[in-house]
Amino acid sequence: MTKKVSPLTDLQIASQATMKSIWTIAKEAGIPEEAVEPYGRFKAKIDVTKLAESSKDGKVVLVTAISPTPAGEGKSTVTVGLADALSKLGEKTMIALREPSLGPVMGMKGGATGGGYAQVLPMEEINLHFNGDIHAITTANNALSALIDNHLHHGNVLRIDPRRITWKRVLDMNDRALRNITIGLGGPTQGVPREDGFDITVASEVMAIFCLATSLQDLKERLARIVIGYTYDKEAVTVRDLGVQGALVLLLKEAFKPNLVQTIEGTPALIHGGPFANIAHGCNSLIATNTARKLADIVVTEAGFGADLGAEKFMNIKARQGGFSPDAVVIVATVRALKMHGGVPKNQLAEENVQAVTDGLVNLAKHIDTIRAFGVQPVVALNKFITDTGAELEVIFEWCEENEIRVALTDVWERGGDGGIALAQEVLKLLDEPNNFAPLYDVEQPVSDKITAIVQKVYGGLGVVFTEQALKDLKNIENNGWGILPICMAKTQYSFSDDPKILGRPEGFTITVRKIIPKLGAGFLVCLTGDIMTMPGLPKTPAALQMDIDLQGNAVGLM
């Protein structure tokens, strides 16, 4: 969410907006009534099986960013504002976004519905529980955990080794105390003692599966393929062995329908699925993107954090699995983040510092190179903040001109779609050009080559170092024939390297992979690097402390 100096908070702006009925939004988007399942007056689930056949395949505009500051650079805000601008220019446009996790909402970063006059609505309900999808995913994940422990308790016919269960429980919460736990304590009637841990739901394989499945039957098949651990003979145990894929898909059935909402300016948006991009693959559901492509000529979508994370996975995992090409990429940059990469401490980002902006451009340059390496052309969206000075902006524009980089200033926080017209025009130009999209590696390559390709071509590093554990994991993966899957890197969003403190455009570094987790259902191999955590913690003063209701029962203090 973009923080600007404004007399109104995002929540206040959202509350004052006049929404159209969700029936009107659906109609305008070409969704027939029978496919609309309203959730209140301004949200709906879409039964995609009831959509008319369409030969349309709308173009895909991916919004990504430079390596971000902790507050984010306003990627969702630009996504919304760009779509509103494209709509204003007469393009049939739809948004595909991720659903917010409650972890950051209660913690530090706030919600994920855009900001200012570029928001999806109803902001408050989307940020809190939305239509229950993430809760359904949490439930399916934890039902599987309960069924595994119940299997151990009732005789363990499959001979699952409790020390080798890799399936973890999840909560949609920042809760560090649940990272490492022991369960099943208290004697023979209380289960089988073992080590376990909770991840945040958005890092779970169920979430990844949910976001990559193309139909309910595909969802079920993927769930069946999940490896939950190993037997005493070190044979993989799957959900199919436990026979519970039917129960899991049943728990996910309603959640799997994409959610329709609207922007403040009335552009339709599908918001569905929400894996983080640092610890998971970072894109909204494929079914939402595919549905939007059937309905609109242009789909504006977002991948989480910087282009080294969300965009890389969007290209190498989602677009590859979905069989489509991203037609244009928007890289969101801010003066603040550039200054940070230029060496300015976080508490001085509001002060003018032209040299630091100049120095920080190396970070942007690397992300541009990355996108071009995929055969796709980028445009830089310079997302305006109230503290930006003319000299700071100028140095960026000059640099872009020198380097033949498309760039547009966006002011969608303050002005909605009007503030995104320049960007929209640049995007439309890009969409008229051919692109030569190709993933950066072949899935047939050896696992270490695939990881090395990402490290070298996307992060700009020398190569990869595997820990003892990672080498063991690699051997297990190869022995089981799982080496042909693509890679899902789990890496800090703050740096190209695996050290969050190394900003800018580092060189000469290696990435240490400490663990590789095969996710057979999702269809990728997760590589944990550095000290990235799959369960975040809350800050000392969490956002929750500011939250409340007023006397009329309206939300207060949501960011």
Write out the binding residues for ATP. Answer: 69-76
273: left (phi over 0), alpha (psi -120 to 50) or beta: left
171 near a second copy, rule: CB under 8 A: yes
Is residue 154 a contact point for a second copy (CB under 8 A)?
yes
Between CA 312 and CA 482 the distance in angstroms is: 21
Told to check if 188 binds a second copy by CB under 8 A, we report no
Q: How far is the CB of 552 from a second copy (least distance, A)?
A: 8
Contact between 558 and a second copy by CB under 8 A: the answer reads: yes
What six digits make up the tokens of 188?
Answer: 């023979």
Phi/psi for 148 (5° steps) reads -65, -50
Q: Which of residues 231-260 bind a second copy (CB under 8 A)?
A: 243-244, 246-247, 249-251, 253-255
181 touches a second copy (CB under 8 A):
yes
Residue 333, classed as helix, strand or coil, is strand
Catalytic hit among 43, 98, 294, 505: 98
**Token pair 């959640």 is at which residue?**
255
* d(C-alpha 87, C-alpha 446), whole Å: 44
Compute how many residues bind a second copy; rule: CB under 8 A.
79
391 vs 556, which CB is nearer to a second copy? Answer: 556
42, 167, 305, 324: the catalytic one is 305
Closest CA to 363 of 412, 406, 314, 399: 399
Residue whose pair of structure tokens reads 């050009």 in the numeric block: 433
- C-alpha span between 254 and 409 (Å, rounded): 40
User: Between 147 and 502, whose beta carbon lies closer to a second copy?
Assistant: 147
Residue 538 found at the interface with a second copy (CB under 8 A): yes
112 binds a second copy (CB under 8 A): no
Contact by Cβ (8 Å): 39, 129: no
Q: Which of 89, 216, 354, 465 binds a second copy (CB under 8 A)?
A: 216
335 forms part of the interface with a second copy (CB under 8 A): no
Stretch that binds a second copy, among 12-20, 125-133, 330-338, 512-520 (CB under 8 A): 125-133
Active site residue 75: yes
Least Å distance between CB 480 and a second copy? 26
Binding segment (CB under 8 A) for a second copy, from list 174-182, 383-391, 459-467, 508-516: 174-182
Stretch near a second copy under the rule CB under 8 A, chosen from 34-42, 233-241, 310-318, 418-426: 34-42
Rule CB under 8 A: say whether 27 interacts with a second copy: no
For the bound state, the minimum distance from the C-beta of residue 545 to a second copy, rounded and expressed in Å, comes to: 6
Interface with a second copy includes 530 (CB under 8 A)? Answer: no
Residue 121 φ/ψ, nearest 5 degrees: -125, 155
Residues 423/379, Cβ–Cβ less than 8 Å: yes
Other CB atoms within a 10 A radius of the CB of residue 463 amount to 12
Q: Which of 413, 482, 496, 509 is catalytic?
A: 413
Q: Which stretch binds a second copy (CB under 8 A): 92-100, 182-190, 325-333, 375-383?
A: 182-190
Active site annotation includes 98? yes
Kindly tell me which residue out of 1, 35, 60, 136 binds a second copy, with binding defined by CB under 8 A: 136
* 153 makes contact with a second copy (CB under 8 A): yes
Catalytic residue among 77, 138, 370, 529, which? 77
d(CA 292, CA 270): 7
- The residue type of 99 is E
By CB under 8 A, tell whether 209 contacts a second copy: no
Whether residue 305 lies in the annotated active site: yes
User: What HEC string does 387-415 produce?
Assistant: CCCHHHHHHHHHHHHHCCCEEEEECHHHH
- The gap from C-alpha 428 to its chain's centroid, in whole angstroms, comes to 24
Structure tokens given for 24: 């009107």
- Confirm if 444 and 487 have CB atoms less than 8 A apart: no
Residues 48-107 that bind a second copy (CB under 8 A): 49, 102, 106
Q: Does 204 bind a second copy (CB under 8 A)?
A: no
Shortest Cβ distance from residue 170 to a second copy (Å)? 10
Minimum CB distance to a second copy, residue 200 (Å): 11
Q: Which of 198, 385, 496, 524 is catalytic?
A: 385
Q: Shortest approach of a second copy to residue 263 CB, angstroms?
A: 21
What one-character-per-residue DSSP string does 327-353 give?
-EEEEEE-HHHHHHHTT--GGGTTS--
Among 17, 51, 89, 183, binds a second copy (CB under 8 A): 183
Interface with a second copy, residue 173, by CB under 8 A:
yes
Concatenated DSSP letters of 179-229: SSEEES-SSGGG---EEE-EEEGGGSHHHHHHHH-SSHHHHHHHHHH-EEE
Q: Which residues of 363-379 are buried (b: 16+ CB within 10 A; e: fewer)?
A: bbebbbebbeebbbbbb
Q: Which helix (H) or strand (E) holds 41?
A: none
Tell me, yes or no, if 167 is annotated catalytic: no
Sole residue written with tokens 């436990």: 242
**Known catalytic residue: 277?**
yes
For the annotated catalytic residues, the residue numbers are 75, 77, 98, 109, 277, 305, 385, 413
